[in-house]
Amino acid sequence: MKAKSKAYFNYSLLDLHFGYRLVEMSGVAVSLNGHVFNLLNAKYISDADDNDKYSVFDEELMNHDSASAGVYFGLPRLLNLSLMIEY
């Protein structure tokens, strides 16, 4: 039986956050805020499990290889917009 090992791939993500105050009058301020997560839409593995119990149901098939690993991909580009009203 091989020793349990784990290797991770390097990845970088670029996020963009912005805000703009649209109007401020009579004690009320209106702002527009936005966030773009994973701006470049990078494809990456956020986590991996060796011998993942959800991928392999027979313990004899747990060989510490790619067939018995559980891999979790990161989220694609995500946009979040908000309108904030302060009074």
pLDDT, residue 70, reads: 77
3-state helix/strand/coil string of 31-44: EEEEEEECCCCCCC
Would you say the pTM of this structure is higher than 0.85?
no
Q: Which pLDDT score is estimated for 2?
A: 56
Q: What is the mean pLDDT of each run of 10 residues along the chain (87 residues)?
A: 63 96 94 98 86 63 69 93 96
Instruction: Give the Cβ contact number of residue 12 at 10 Å.
Output: 7
